Amino acid sequence: MKITSKVAALAAAGAALVLTTPGPSLAASSNFLVNEGGNQCLTIENASPDNGARAVQGPCVTSKSEWRFVKADEYNYRIVNVDNGKCLEIADSRKDNGAPAQQWTCVDGADTQLWDLWFSDGSGFVTNKNSDKNLEIENSSAKVGAKAQQWAYAGVTGQRWRPVMASE
Distance, CA of 99 to CA of 46 (rounded, Å): 20
pLDDT in tens, 45-97: 999 999 999 999 999 988 889 999 999 999 999 999 999 999 999 999 999 99
**Cα–Cα separations (whole angstroms), residue 69 to 13, 72, 95, 137:** 23, 9, 22, 19
Is the model's pLDDT at 28 over the cut of 70?
Answer: no
Domain 3-165, CATH among 2.80.10.50, 3.30.1950.10, 3.40.50.2000, 2.40.50.140: 2.80.10.50
With a pLDDT cut of 90, the percent of the chain lying above it is: 77
User: Nearest-5° angle of CA 157, CA 104, CA 144?
Assistant: 35
Rounded to the nearest 10°, the torsion over CA 37, 147, 162, 28 is 170
CA dist list (Å): 92 to 48, 55, 57, 148, 168: 19, 14, 21, 15, 35
**Distance from C-alpha of 48 to C-alpha of 161, rounded to nearest angstrom:** 22
